[in-house]
Amino acid sequence: MRLRVEQDVFVVRQMGREVARAVGMEQQDQTRLATALSEVGRVMLTFGHGADVTFEAVPSGVPTLRVKVVNSHPGDAAEVRMQLGQVGRLVDTLEVSDDEAGTVVGMARRLPASVPRLTPERMDDIRAGLAQHVPGTPLDELSVQNQQLIAALDEVRAQRDDLSRLNAELEETNRGVMALYNQLSQELEETNRGVVALYAELDEKSEQLRTVSEAKSRFLANVSHELRAPVTAVIGLARLLGDPASEPLGDEQRRQVDLISSSANDLLTLVNDLLDLAKAEAGRIEPEWSEVDLRAVFGQLRGTLRPLATRPEVDFMVEEPSPLSLSLYTDEVLLARVLRNLLTNAIKFTAEGEVRLAVRTVDDDIEFTVSDTGTGIPAELHERIFEEFYQVPRSRAITGKGTGLGLPYARRLVGILGGGLRVDSEPGRGSTFTVRLPLTRP
């Protein structure tokens, strides 16, 4: 297109919009390109040389529409560039340069990705359409321009309204979030206060418990100590009464004296057990640590317990430690007391099969197992049997009686030695009590 007189600027503007529409640009981009083109045309005309305008569609790569405006007067580039000012913002690229033919202004704008491909046939159609285009008068163009301006202003207003609505929504959301946050932090604070109070109460309760437990231990220790002397006296007196050197007794009298004697013996066992437990609980047991040779301990246990395991249906086995020289750092007397206690129980509750003591090392620990093929203990009572005086209901000892104090005492002692005592057992299949102690001093 030629640009020679002012009126041509309107025609070029119209044609720019038409070309932009024909190659598929959106409405707003059409206006942008048309506006940029009319600005460039207006500026070029002010130099008084006229100009030629060429439209070029680039179909390859990102499809682009290029417009070139050339006047035949080299050397105006710097001035043109200055006057075009903000026009570059309307297109993707705007370049102004001088070449030998004249001053060249090149603009380009990418087409939307969704436009149909610019095939040669389509280009022919576009060209044919444009050739038939009858340019309107400047007044027509002014009217189109006004319409576009109104539409643009409307859009701006709609966007401003949208923006203020969004702002209001955002503010509302913020207020909601703040309220929620305040509520949550209030709740958290309250919960924290509750937790702190609860802890204080717990501390108080455990302090009370400790005091009560100490009082109980003290009481048990005192009472059992005081009971021991009279009970021993009763046993002595009963023995004297039954002594053949004393006055002879009638049959009924002898039976009664035997009854007194056996009851007093039971009582003495109970008193002794209570005293032991009370001492252990009061922390009055100080272990005497030394390197303990297990072979010797096992030998002693074998010797002292064999007389209890008299039933031919039950094999009583104390295995040899392996290696034979196995030793550990502990209190020999307390360890022997624990193992004797467990072995006595096993013998007591086993009618047939075997009772076995074994030892092995596990990592840095040593494990003693006392296993039997006796009555066994239901799973739900595995912890209860370590409570004072607890005895499994209906589990009658095959030999001897008990006080229900042996296991709590054994567990205390193992604790004092720095280890743990646990049980695995199933009714009818037997029980295994395991004492785990550190090999070296804890």
CA distance 177 to 102: 64
Whole-number minimum distance, CB 313 to ligand ADP, in Å?
16
Whole-number minimum distance, CB 356 to ligand ADP, in Å?
12
CA distance 62 to 409: 89
According to CB under 6 A, which one of 372, 373, 411, 419 is a site residue for ligand ADP?
372
CA distance 344 to 50: 123
Task: Judge contact between 423 and 401, C-beta under 8 A.
Answer: no
CA torsion through residues 407, 411, 412, 414, sign: positive
According to CB under 6 A, which one of 395, 412, 414, 437 is a site residue for ligand ADP?
395
According to CB under 6 A, which one of 30, 330, 345, 373 is a site residue for ligand ADP?
345
CA distance 405 to 393: 15
* Nearer residue to ligand ADP within complex by CB, 329 or 390: 390
CA distance 65 to 88: 15
- Contact between 349 and ligand ADP by CB under 6 A: the answer reads yes
* Nearer residue to ligand ADP within complex by CB, 238 or 318: 318
Choices 80-88, 167-175, 274-282, 399-407; region in contact with ligand ADP by CB under 6 A: 399-407
First-last CA distance in the chain: 102
In a 3-state reduction of DSSP, which class is residue 424? strand
Number of residues that bind ligand ADP (CB under 6 A): 20
- Contact between 24 and ligand ADP by CB under 6 A: the answer reads no
CA distance 91 to 48: 25
CA torsion through residues 155, 159, 165, 168, sign: negative
Task: Judge contact between 250 and 231, C-beta under 8 A.
Answer: no
* Nearer residue to ligand ADP within complex by CB, 169 or 313: 313
CA torsion through residues 117, 118, 120, 121, sign: positive
Whole-number minimum distance, CB 434 to ligand ADP, in Å?
12
Choices 80-88, 175-183, 279-287, 403-411; region in contact with ligand ADP by CB under 6 A: 403-411
- Contact between 406 and ligand ADP by CB under 6 A: the answer reads yes
User: What residue type is 209 in one-letter code?
Assistant: L
Residues 6+ apart with CB under 8 A from 86: none
- Contact between 377 and ligand ADP by CB under 6 A: the answer reads yes
- Contact between 41 and ligand ADP by CB under 6 A: the answer reads no
* Nearer residue to ligand ADP within complex by CB, 217 or 375: 375
Which residue do the tokens 């023995």 mark? 239
What number of CA atoms fall less than 13 Å from residue 396's CA on the CB side?
A: 1
Choices 166-174, 179-187, 188-196, 405-413; region in contact with ligand ADP by CB under 6 A: 405-413
According to CB under 6 A, which one of 297, 375, 421, 437 is a site residue for ligand ADP?
375
404's tokens = 């229900």
- Contact between 297 and ligand ADP by CB under 6 A: the answer reads no
Instruction: Respond yes or no on whether the N-terminal peptide bond of residue 323 is cis (omega within 30° of 0).
Output: yes
CA distance 162 to 159: 5
CA distance 142 to 148: 10
According to CB under 6 A, which one of 70, 277, 407, 417 is a site residue for ligand ADP?
407
According to CB under 6 A, which one of 321, 402, 412, 421 is a site residue for ligand ADP?
402
* Nearer residue to ligand ADP within complex by CB, 16 or 406: 406
According to CB under 6 A, which one of 403, 416, 418, 439 is a site residue for ligand ADP?
403
* Nearer residue to ligand ADP within complex by CB, 405 or 413: 405
Q: Is 403 left (phi over 0), alpha (psi -120 to 50) or beta?
A: alpha
* Nearer residue to ligand ADP within complex by CB, 108 or 416: 416
- Contact between 346 and ligand ADP by CB under 6 A: the answer reads yes
> Residue 60: phi, psi to the nearest 5?
-85, 160
Q: Give the footprint of ligand ADP on residues 419-438 (CB under 6 A).
A: 431
Residue nearest to ligand ADP (CB): 402
What number of CA atoms fall less than 13 Å from residue 92's CA on the CB side?
A: 12
Query: How many Cβ atoms sit within 10 Å of the Cβ of residue 29?
Result: 20
Choices 72-80, 87-95, 196-204, 372-380; region in contact with ligand ADP by CB under 6 A: 372-380
Which residue do the tokens 């702190």 mark? 196
Q: Give the footprint of ligand ADP on residues 304-343 (CB under 6 A).
A: none
- Contact between 103 and ligand ADP by CB under 6 A: the answer reads no
Site string for ligand ADP, 236-275 (x = CB under 6 A): ----------------------------------------
Interface residues with ligand ADP (CB under 6 A) are 345-346, 349, 372, 374-377, 385, 390-392, 395, 402-407, 431
